[in-house]
Amino acid sequence: MGIFSLMTGIPGQSGFGSASTAEQVTEGIDASNLTVIITGGASGIGLETARVLALRKAHVIIAARNMEAANEAKLLILEGNETARVDVLKLDLGSIKNNAGVMFCPYQLSEDGIEMQFATNHLGHFLLTNLLLEKMKGTARATGIEGRIVNLSSMAHLHTYEDGIQFDKINDPNSYSDKKAYGQSKLANILHANKLSRLLKEEGANIAVNSVHPGLIMTNLMRHSAFLMRILKLFTYLLWKNVPQGAATTCYVALHPKLKGVTGKYFMDCNEYTPSELATNEELAQKLWDYSNNLVNSTQTT
């Protein structure tokens, strides 16, 4: 997989490629025995993911802080699919904001005093996963159905700080770079998925954990740099996807039977792809795991 495949849409080993849509990669799959929780499901590729998984008969829960937007998303899905099973859930993990991602935002701290991109894109989802994990293990044991966790990362994980994660400078405004901070949070998504995958395999849990790059899509995620992104798109338009294509890799990794037992991998354009060396560094993943646990515990006790 490379730039040529991305530009042409030629399918990879999976039979799908950058031009494939979420509906195409899930065609014929019956997900009626699955419950899916989607953060960021009120708009953009999250909404398209929710719509398509509901179309495949999964029980979809849109977890969001903005309940008005979540309810509008639910109504939109039901308009096209009256039998869809869609619920909305107010997501408030303490004060950690994790119902959607942020990208390239100016330096700011979350309510917990943590740099916003790291808090929103990684830490909140790290906590959500931990809170759901025992329930997922129990359900997988009782039903024999493999649980799947999909972390939405990005190719932007390649553009991060020199050491990958600035553990000692997460909140340092002087060294802050909006682009590198975003890359740092996306690198954290892959490291988290890989570490959790190893732990669950050692435990023998029937849960797969993978990370995905959805592709370049113009969504509300880019609201902090919309002008820059439009200029970039003008010169790289062949590399961009529409929303149905952008949701394809997430839906493929979440549902496709070909991936049963596949865990700890990184996917792009519905095919396995090799991430950066930092993303596969087990020592860095362990350090992030410990750091994240300590950070979550400190925010919950203050």
Question: Looking at the annotation, which residues are catalytic?
Answer: 176
Question: From CA 302, how far away is CA 126, in angstroms rounded?
Answer: 19
Using H for helix, E for strand and C for coil, what is the string for the chain?
CCHHHHHHCCCCCCCCCCCCCHHHHCCCCCCCCCEEEEECCCCHHHHHHHHHHHHCCCEEEEEECCHHHHHHHHHHHHHHCCCCEEEEEECCECCECCCCCCCCCCCCECCCCCEHHHHHHHHHHHHHHHHHHHHHHHHHHHHCCCEEEEEECCHHHHCCECCECCHHHCCCCCCCCHHHHHHHHHHHHHHHHHHHHHHHHHHCCCEEEEEEECCECCCHHHHHHHHHHHHHHHHCHHHECCHHHHCHHHHHHHHCHHHCCCCCCEEECCEEECCCCHHHCHHHHHHHHHHHHHHHHHHHHC
- φ/ψ of 271, rounded to 5, equals -135, 150
CA 93 – CA 288 distance, rounded (Å): 20
